[in-house]
Amino acid sequence: MTEPPQTADPTPAPDPPAPGAAPAADGPAPQTPAAVRRRAVLAGAAVSALLILAIVFGSRLLRDFDSALLPYAVATVFLAFGVAYRYTVWVSAPGARRLFRQGWRSFFSAANFRRAPTALPKMIATYLGLQKFLGARSHARWAAHQLLFWGCVLAALITFPLTWGWFTFTSGSGDGPGYEMRIWGFKVLGFNALNIIGWLMFHGLDIAAVLVISGASYFLWRRMKDRGAITGQRFAYDLIPLIALVVVSVTGLLLTFSSIFLHGGGYEFLAVLHMVSVVFTLIYIPFGKFFHIVQRPAAVGMQLFKYTSRDKDADGELKTCRRCHEPIDTAAYVENLRGTMKDLKLDFDEWAEYCPRCKRVLRGNAYLTHVKKGFQ
Amino acid sequence: MMGRTIFIDPGRCIGCQACVSACRECDSHRGKSMIHLDYPDEGHTVASLPTVCMHCEDPVAPCAEVCPADAILVTADGVVQQADTTRCIGCANCVNACPFGVPKIDLQAKLQMKCNLCYDRTAYGLAPMCATVCPTGALFYGTLDELRAERPGVQVADSFTFGDVVVHTGVAMVVPADKVRWPVPGGLPVVEINGVDVR
């Protein structure tokens, strides 16, 4: 690149901030990476310890704990540590931290409960459950993601409590067909294993596997055919999660196949294969694409913040562009963004009060006036 | 600055919108144009300014820095990618923090989109769609040496001032050799009368 000509009058570099300078308004003190890591390790250890206690007490001091499921339970403890660690590191970054706080502030504000008590449940249902925003991106992706999502939710609701010894299925007669489902030792349901309820109870994971395989297959196909999806895709980030879901689901289905059609042939090998695939997938969750499962619910806080600040602004007005007066966003949101930019030493935060088009036009005008007067 | 990049010369732009149309053909955001073509002093001059993502290098991608979801990836070759569809939450932080006014947002889809230097093409050594179709060379893709081979003595700038802040970019602008200002003014500071920017 060309060097600046000696005759030019270079803009002086901004002065370094004075030692001990106050952080941006409402901004937390800067954190060192070591401090963040320390806090993340503590959070991870605390959550893991809580989960272990929940497993011990939830399984009635391990009386209901199925030792055959021990590797799964250990994997969930690692998962809890990883998720808490990564989550803590994530919400320590300036952008996430400010929106995280604003989300909770909006949630606990009396105004929110009074004016919009249904806002949060609605957002959870439409944003996290139905994922309507995915429909706006592509109907096919929405449908496939719904299959994947509900399959994973169903599987998690069944397997996690089973693994932890929270659910038990017992038969008074020893071999059925009458079964009792107990949660933490309390009977919640009695059913006949040979009727439709019993079939659904014992094949819940097979149903989940079919849903997951359908959804994941679509996304795998798309990753191989759609040129937009292929652009910049990474094997470890984009393909491994889908392959892992398919492997977990297929090996799970093979267990049922073995017990029904092979009279248990190869069951032990398949059980180990399934266990290994599940354990690796669980441990991978905090580190790759699956982290969006944890991250996405946090975005509800951002939606709530925007929603409540817009509501508060109903009497006033939205923040408008300082040049063309087109609305930018709520005043609280723009203030929050400016704070984030100050935290990050992006000292052109004043620019956030201009709409994108005016930024470009003003830059064009500056070029026209100061750089190349004849550029028309 | 990256080796091969886009050089923007607003003086050559005739506002024909060929780049805008070609951008829609990019596989990574098919049907949606990510390039901006503005007419800074409309009604008084025919000047037009094409704006692609400048792929900020220092500070590294302000859009990615303010992203609360870690959705914007900067690849090893310095290309600031558009938001990861899995992570983007549609908060618009990037849209409003970008000093060049580049990212777009689809609020229904809760998804940011922006110029990614036609990564599906440039990753394989092809020129981006906009530079491929530009009839006047206002958008040139290549190395500085290649640009100078075609336009001897041309000067380019890859830093822009916003108030006191200098932003160094991966994409550069052509500046006149005899009137070069260093860095190029980015539009700030503000000229206000009664709280309104009158520029």
Q: What is the pLDDT of residues B122-176, one digit of tens each?
A: 988 899 999 999 999 999 999 999 999 999 989 899 999 998 899 999 999 998 8
3-state secondary structure of B10: helix
pLDDT at B79 over 60: yes
> Choosing among A92, A106, A231, which should be mutated to test the B contact, i.e. which has the most B CBs within 10 A?
A231
Measured distance CA(B160)–CA(B97) in Å, rounded: 15
> pTM of the full predicted structure?
0.87
pLDDT at A147 over 80: yes
> Choosing among A102, A362, A373, which should be mutated to test the B contact, i.e. which has the most B CBs within 10 A?
A362
State whether A337 and B93 contact (CB < 8 Å): yes
A324: DSSP letter? T
Pick the CATH number of B5-58+118-197 from 3.40.50.720, 3.40.630.40, 3.40.50.2000, 3.30.70.20: 3.30.70.20
Residue B134, min C-alpha distance to chain A (Å):
17
Which pairing describes strands B56-58 and B165-175: parallel, antiparallel, or unpaired? antiparallel
Residue A298, min C-alpha distance to chain B (Å):
9
Confidence of residue A193 (pLDDT cuts 50, 70, 90): confident
The radius of gyration of chain B from alpha carbons, rounded to an integer in Å, stands at 17
pLDDT at B92 over 90: yes
Confidence of residue B196 (pLDDT cuts 50, 70, 90): low
B187: DSSP letter? S
Q: Do A232 and B75 contact (CB within 8 A), yes or no?
A: yes
pLDDT at A1 over 80: no
Q: Percent of chain A scored above 90 by pLDDT? A: 66
Task: List Cα–Cα distances, A8 to A85, A158, A369, B170, B188, in angstroms.
Answer: 50, 70, 16, 22, 19
Residue A151, min C-alpha distance to chain B (Å):
18
Q: Which candidate, B117, B105, B185, places its Cα nearest to that of A348?
A: B185
Cα angle value A175/A181/A184 (rounded, 5°):
125
State whether B187 and A362 contact (CB < 8 Å): yes
pLDDT at A82 over 60: yes
The residue extents of the domains of chain A are: 33-300, 313-371
pLDDT at A187: 92
The residue extents of the domains of chain B are: 5-58+118-197
For B179, the token pair is 């009137």
pLDDT at A12: 38
Please, what is the angle between helix A94-108 and helix A331-343, to 10°? Answer: 150
B122's CB contacts (< 8 A; 6+ apart) are B4, B79, B128, B141
Region A149-155: what's the mean pLDDT? 97
A145's CB contacts (< 8 A; 6+ apart) are A131, A134, A215, A219
pLDDT at A11: 36
Q: Which candidate, A211, A205, A214, A308, places its Cα nearest to that of A259?
A: A205
Phi, psi of B134 (to 5 degrees): -60, 120
Q: Per the omega criterion (within 30 degrees of 0), is the bond before A10 cis?
A: no
**Chain A residues within 8 A of B36 when measuring between CB atoms:** 356-357, 360
Q: Do A286 and A303 contact (CB within 8 A), yes or no?
A: no
Residues within 8 A of A (CB atoms), B 152-171 only: 155-158, 160-167
Region A29-53: what's the mean pLDDT? 92
